[in-house]
Amino acid sequence: MISVGHDLRSKPRSAFWKKLCLTAGAALLLAGQRGGAGTVHADYRYDYFGNAIPSQYSYVAETDYNGLQLGVGAFNAPTDLYVSGDNRIFIMDAGNDRIVVLNGEYEAEKVIDEFQMDGETVSVKGVTGIFVHTDGLMYLADKAAGRILVADETGKVVRCITRPESTLLQENSTTTFLPRKVLVDSRDIIYMLSENSTQGAYMIDAGGAFLGFYGRNEVQLTFRRVYELAMRRFASEEQRSKMQNFIPVEFTNFDIDGQGFIYTVTAYSERPESDDMIKKLNPLGSNIYTDPYYSWGDMPEGNTYHTTYTDIAVDQEGFTYALDAYSGRIFWYDNMGRQQAIFGGSGAYLGAFTAPAAIDTLGGDVLVLDSVKNNITVFEPTYFGELVKRAFLLYNGGYYGESRELFEELVKMDANYDWAYVGLGRACYEDGDWEEAKEYFRSGVATEAYSEVKGDLRNRNLKEHFTGIFFGILLGCFVIIVAARLIGAYLTERRKAAVDRELK
Amino acid sequence: MKKLGYYSSMSKYRYPFYILLHPADGFRELKVNNKFSMGFANGILALWVLLGILDWGYVDFDFKVTDRQLDGQVNIFQVLLTTVLIFAISVVANWCFCTLMDGKGRMKEIWVAGAYALMPYVVLGIVRVGLTHGMVSGEAVYLTYLNVVGVAWSALLVFVGLMEIHDYSGPKTLTSIFLTLCGVMIIAFLVVLVSGLATQIYSFFATIYFELKLRYL
């Protein structure tokens, strides 16, 4: 078994912004040539050394739709977007107190603007998260009212979940009940992210009982924090109250895939290269994205820019798309968490965002909701993006031989694509072309894999040429010993002769 | 004394190898009977430079750990700086301090003894670089051992060598080594200072020259 660990010992580089500017410049040129089709910013990705490297376009913004184009009236500060299992798009148009439903062809299907609970009209203006369950019920996280509304598509609220009574949920500053985002798994358990709560997601079962907290971020112990903890001991009460608290950062958002894994994003991290800004949580709530090669978000550049994730979407194939609210960039990872591309950007153009609020996928497309531009942008994969998807699906599924041609084409199209080299190396390895595999692993800076192929090659050569090597070594030793003896004897003779001469 | 007489018949090119295993006797005789070869010592230093180059640019890919190695662009001046130049400065610093501390060693002897003492480190280092091409990263620990052996052996030889060359006791040798390290730092500081000042003086005169040239020529 050969591992393709890619231990990304990344570190911030000063060359980063320079590169990015170059990238952006190249992008503008390209955008001009393309007639301005949705690519204002160049795609890029990080290489092994943590440098931002321009890449081929994987996703291109094809169109955007605002409320007027859809014939439902302009959106007003929409807060969330959800694509249901039957490919219908639910837009939480909170400013207009309504939900707009589109079909898979981006045509308005329904506008739900009246919600009834026990005969009374309720407002959904404070709803910040929407989830549509497989049974067709909409789960609305009403942050303003501190409740979760469960409504059907006629606008009838069939259930209202407020703060559950439980000994597990003591009232304190970290256990607020201000639902921000909500999702439901196949067992009808509701997961809810509450504003200002650092305890992780709240789990509430179908009967409304509180089951416990699910996943949570942890405070990483760094030298700085150890130092601050030490200083805290000597600080006065007043000084202490002004010091930074050691509270983990809350999850910003989450999504659930078909197998029940929950993907979470965290807005802020001091060290995106080592912190888990994106997590894939198993049913126990522990993170399974733990390999050292993961790198979430952009490399930090001083205090000027930090990736600020606001939403994450996972498609049917397991590819994840994380949305950065600050820069408007979308970070694309494959189903093993390898960074494949970074696209999007901030601006007023097609394919750039002012206040990106939510992201989801529909078929192969990526939809991004902007709450200031009041529209949804549709990204479609390019030929290159499709190729990446197919190649890595085959690769991660173990079909290495089948993925070889795809990887060869990827490498041809984008020669700086580390992961493609690693994939190609693996495919070559499985085909028995070990020499080639070694070189591709070198190109992909996969040291571990390179080393293992080298070991296999060595063992194969040893096996094939065992007799030759064995007798070669024997002969070599013999020759060396004899030669050393002869030379030694000669030198001693000469020395003796010299001494004799001197004595005479 | 009989022993010394016997070994004094040994060729001076074979002699460094005898020192490897008999440092006390060897270095003593190196001093007493002038049993040293400047050429051999400089050969070892040349090998050290070679090791610096190999270790930077020619370790096999899976043993490259530093960014410098992965980058692969060998800077020969940097190699010289970290090998021969540091060696020369150390020898000068050691000579300066030991002359003041009743050391019996001459500069030449210190130079040769230092170079001879480096032989295990240099040779094992080159062997190590060669072995990276046949070993896998799981076996890296053996190469680390090899390196540790080389460094420890050389350190021991340096210690014994200086002790014998200067006719010191053990503690005094340690003191002199410590002072030598301080001396190296002082010399490095002075070099930086002088080069900085020289640059400024140069630029001062250059400015005057260009000013005159632009005005009158």
d(CA B97, CA B113): 17
| pLDDT score of B72 | 74
Residue of A nearest to B65 (CA): A447
Q: How many domains does chain B have?
A: 1
**Spatial CA neighbour of A320 closest among A383, A396, A422, A372:** A396
Q: Tell me whether B137 touches chain A (CB under 8 Å).
A: yes
Cross-chain residue pair B14–A454, CB shorter than 8 Å: no
Cross-chain residue pair A447–B136, CB shorter than 8 Å: no
| pLDDT score of A28 | 45
* Contact predicate A449/A426, CB 8 Å: yes
Residue B8 lies in a domain: no
If pLDDT is split at 50, 70 and 90, which confidence band does A39 have?
low
Burial A474-487 (b: 16+ CB within 10 A, else e): eeeeeeeeeeeeee
If pLDDT is split at 50, 70 and 90, which confidence band does A337 have?
confident
If pLDDT is split at 50, 70 and 90, which confidence band does B203 have?
very high
Q: Tell me whether A454 touches chain B (CB under 8 Å).
A: yes
| Residue type at A268 in one-letter notation | Y
The alpha carbon of residue B55 is apart from the nearest alpha carbon of chain A, in Å, by: 17
ipTM: 0.75
| pLDDT score of A30 | 45
Q: Decide if pLDDT at A321 tops 70.
A: yes
Angle at A42 between CA A40 and CA A44, to 5 degrees: 150
Q: Tell me whether A457 touches chain B (CB under 8 Å).
A: no
| pLDDT score of A425 | 94
Contacts of B10 in chain A (CB under 8 A): 495
| pLDDT score of A35 | 38
* Contact predicate A149/A160, CB 8 Å: yes
d(CA B15, CA B2): 17
Q: Decide if pLDDT at B71 tops 60.
A: yes
Whole-Å CA distances, A64 to A70, A313, A355, A369, B202: 10, 19, 15, 10, 64
| pLDDT score of A14 | 42
Q: Decide if pLDDT at A29 tops 80.
A: no
d(CA B89, CA B184): 6
| pLDDT score of A11 | 38
| pLDDT score of B62 | 87
Output B99 or A220, whichever has higher pLDDT: B99
Residue B197 lies in a domain: yes
Q: Tell me whether B60 touches chain A (CB under 8 Å).
A: yes
Q: Tell me whether B142 touches chain A (CB under 8 Å).
A: no
Q: For residue range B76-110, list pLDDT tens digits in order.
A: 999 999 999 999 999 999 999 999 988 888 999 99
Q: Report chain A's mean pLDDT, rounded to a whole number.
A: 85
d(CA A240, CA A207): 43
Question: What ranges do the domains of chain A cover?
Answer: 58-381, 403-464, 465-504
* Contact predicate B143/B132, CB 8 Å: yes
Contacts of B66 in chain A (CB under 8 A): none
Contacts of A442 in chain B (CB under 8 A): 61
CB-neighbour burial class of residue A143 (10 A; exposed 0-12, middle 13-18, buried 19+): buried
Superfamily of domain A58-381, CATH level 4: TolB, C-terminal domain (2.120.10.30)
Q: Report chain B's mean pLDDT, rounded to a whole number.
A: 90
Size of chain A, expressed as the number of residues it contains: 504
Residue of A nearest to B132 (CA): A451
The 3 state secondary structure assigned to A69-109 is HHCCCCCCCCCEEEECCCCCEEEEEHHHCEEEEECCCCCEE
Q: For residue range A52-84, list pLDDT tens digits in order.
A: 889 999 999 999 999 999 999 999 999 999 999
Q: Specify the DSSP class assigned to residue A353.
A: B
Contacts of B9 in chain A (CB under 8 A): 495-496, 499
**Nearest-by-Cβ selection for A447 from B9, B10, B61:** B61
Q: Decide if pLDDT at A225 tops 90.
A: no
Q: Tell me whether B64 touches chain A (CB under 8 Å).
A: yes
| pLDDT score of B7 | 52
The arithmetic mean of pLDDT across residues A192-206, rounded, is 89
How much of chain A, in percent, has pLDDT values that exceed 70?
90
The alpha carbon of residue A454 is apart from the nearest alpha carbon of chain B, in Å, by: 7
Cross-chain residue pair A451–B137, CB shorter than 8 Å: yes
Output A395 or B3, whichever has higher pLDDT: A395
d(CA A247, CA A244): 9
Cross-chain residue pair A499–B136, CB shorter than 8 Å: no
Cross-chain residue pair A495–B67, CB shorter than 8 Å: no
| pLDDT score of A298 | 82
Burial A95-105 (b: 16+ CB within 10 A, else e): ebbbbbbbeee
* Contact predicate A369/A78, CB 8 Å: yes
d(CA A210, CA B126): 66
Cross-chain residue pair A499–B9, CB shorter than 8 Å: yes
Q: Tell me whether B127 touches chain A (CB under 8 Å).
A: no
Q: Specify the DSSP class assigned to residue A289.
A: -
Residues 6+ apart with CB under 8 A from B69: B55, B56, B57, B59
**Spatial CA neighbour of B19 closest among B210, B172, B158:** B158
User: What are the residues facing A301 on neighbouring strands?
Assistant: A305
The arithmetic mean of pLDDT across residues A249-274, rounded, is 84
**Nearest-by-Cβ selection for A458 from B64, B67, B134:** B134
Cross-chain residue pair A495–B9, CB shorter than 8 Å: yes
Q: For residue range B118-170, list pLDDT tens digits in order.
A: 999 999 999 999 999 988 888 889 999 999 999 999 999 999 999 999 999 99
Q: What is the CA radius of gyration of chain B?
A: 22
If pLDDT is split at 50, 70 and 90, which confidence band does A272 have?
low
Show the domain range for B141: 13-216
Q: Tell me whether A495 touches chain B (CB under 8 Å).
A: yes
Contacts of B138 in chain A (CB under 8 A): 451, 455
The alpha carbon of B117 is separated from its chain's Cα centroid by a whole number of angstroms, namely 9
Q: Decide if pLDDT at A12 tops 50.
A: no
Residue B155 lies in a domain: yes
If pLDDT is split at 50, 70 and 90, which confidence band does A304 have?
low
Output A169 or A7, whichever has higher pLDDT: A169
Site from A7, A447, A462, A490 to mutate, B interface, most B CB atoms within 10 angstroms: A447
Site from A10, A442, A454, A458 to mutate, B interface, most B CB atoms within 10 angstroms: A454
CB-neighbour burial class of residue B130 (10 A; exposed 0-12, middle 13-18, buried 19+): middle
Residues 6+ apart with CB under 8 A from B150: B120, B121, B122, B123, B124, B125, B128
Tokens of A425: 């190396």
Contacts of B6 in chain A (CB under 8 A): none
At the topology level, CATH places domain A403-464 in 1.25.40
Cross-chain residue pair B62–A447, CB shorter than 8 Å: yes
